[in-house]
Amino acid sequence: MLKDGVIKAVQNAAALKSRLPDVSLPVFEQMNNLGSRFLKFSRSPVGAAGMMAYIILVANLAMLLAIEGVFKLTLDQNVSGFNWEFLNAMLTAFICIPALNVFVLRPMLEQQAKLRQQYNELCIAAATFESQEGIMITDAERNILKVNRSFTEITGYASEEVVGKKPALLVAGQQDKKFYRRLWATVKLENNWQGEILNRRKNGKIHPMSLTITAVIGEEGQITNYIGIFTDITQQKFAENEIHNLAYYDPLTHLPNRRLLNDRLIMTAATSRRSGRYGAVMFIDLDNFKPLNDAHGHVAGDLLLIEAARRITQCVRAVDTVARFGGDEFVVILGELDICESGSAAQANIVAEKIRASLAEPYFLSLQKKEKTKHITVEHRCTSSIGVTLFAEHQESHETLLKEADMAMYQAKNNGRNQISFLNKELKILASQPHNYSTVH
């Protein structure tokens, strides 16, 4: 995993640096030159170590060849004329060769192999560091030590602008101090934190990120570094919002749909029970909508629905709910009215009258006819029939409340349209009867 690779690189970096030979020494510089030129060793501390091992190996071979020559000379010449001191030196060297191999050559070769492995791991980690995810490495005091190219692309900050500074320069201020205290408490306890956070780009724009913070533990068990790996999830959040809007909002008017309407009605009824105040449900149907569709098409009808939604919304408070129920029908939920029924009915009637009057105003719809570039303006008048039902200490289901408001709306239509009708006792009894709401129309 990306996180594991970066953590391992940070942990190995200090250890590798402490074990490598000092390349500033002349002997290692010469070994690097010789190894690079003649033996094809890389110009690196690891290459220098390999060169040293090679020299020891050549010395071993040269010593063995010399001893072999001495014995040949001894067999070919008169023994009495041979230089026994030279032979004694050769035998002494022969005895020392195993010790040289065991105590010098083998450890050096093992160390060289270990360094080569660590060197390769760092090369892999370096490639991993340049990933599509933003990476930030800090010291134990959370001072930024290094960031990768993706960090710059996501945040807009160049490396030289952030190195030596605290990650707090990215904080958007959308989460409170308690959030960050809990975050770092989790890192301290579990050495890891993962979640979503809001950060601020260099240009001031706020963007959501998926962030993982990992504490790097050194050989002595102390935290040596923190690694932050993050991805910009702006597009993901945008897609989630789109899905949410499709699920809960009408795509034409952007008003809550039936699903969200039910949730809002349940919440408003619960609030009414706690406060002891009445609420109201209004069912609105446009009286003269179909002729517009028949004469000018669905585009004209859509424009009228959008304008009707705007007018209804302007007649209610921000805490109230305006929803598109379907077709040319809308529902309004009013909460926190009066504590008595008569006062609540008066308040609901005022709002309903404002809506009725607003919807009765003429509509001027700009349309473009087929095969014509010129727009035409169509004037249309469309009144509404509004049914109202009140509720307090709600004992009925939200389906029953909608049914009651719908029946009151049909009573307004029967009374001549462009009317407001409150639910009467007879309709309330009918609405309480068990039958499917979809069969009421």
323: tokens are: 């929803």
Q: Within this chain, do residues 40 and 103 fall inside the same structural domain, yes or no?
A: yes
Q: Where is the domain boundary, 209, 238, 267?
A: 238
Q: Within this chain, do residues 111 and 212 fall inside the same structural domain, yes or no?
A: no
Q: Within this chain, do residues 392 and 334 fall inside the same structural domain, yes or no?
A: yes
Section 394-422 average pLDDT: 90
Q: Within this chain, do residues 49 and 185 fall inside the same structural domain, yes or no?
A: no
Among 211-220, 288-297, 393-402, which stretch is predicted with the lowest mean pLDDT? 393-402
Among 318-327, 334-343, 366-375, 408-417, which stretch is predicted with the lowest mean pLDDT? 366-375
Per-residue pLDDT tens digits for 248-287: 999 999 999 999 999 999 999 988 888 889 999 999 999 9
Per-residue pLDDT tens digits for 161-184: 999 999 999 988 888 889 999 999
User: Which residue range forms the structural domain that includes residue 12?
Assistant: 2-129
**In a domain? residue 244:** no
**In a domain? residue 243:** no
The 10 Å CB-count burial string (b at 16+, else e) for 405-440 is bbbbbbbbbeeeebbbbbbeeebbeebeeeeeeeee
| pLDDT above 50 for 440 | no
Q: Within this chain, do residues 201 and 267 fall inside the same structural domain, yes or no?
A: no
In this prediction, residue 51 has a pLDDT band, given cuts at 50, 70 and 90, of: low
Q: How far apart are CA 269 and CA 260, in angstroms?
A: 14
Name the average pLDDT for the chain. Answer: 79
In this prediction, residue 316 has a pLDDT band, given cuts at 50, 70 and 90, of: very high
Q: Within this chain, do residues 123 and 140 fall inside the same structural domain, yes or no?
A: no
Q: Within this chain, do residues 287 and 394 fall inside the same structural domain, yes or no?
A: yes
Provide the pLDDT for residue 306: 97
Q: Within this chain, do residues 292 and 370 fall inside the same structural domain, yes or no?
A: yes
Q: How far apart are CA 336 and CA 283, in angstroms?
A: 18
In this prediction, residue 336 has a pLDDT band, given cuts at 50, 70 and 90, of: very high
| pLDDT above 90 for 393 | no
Q: Are 146 and 84 a contacting pair, CB within 8 Å? A: no
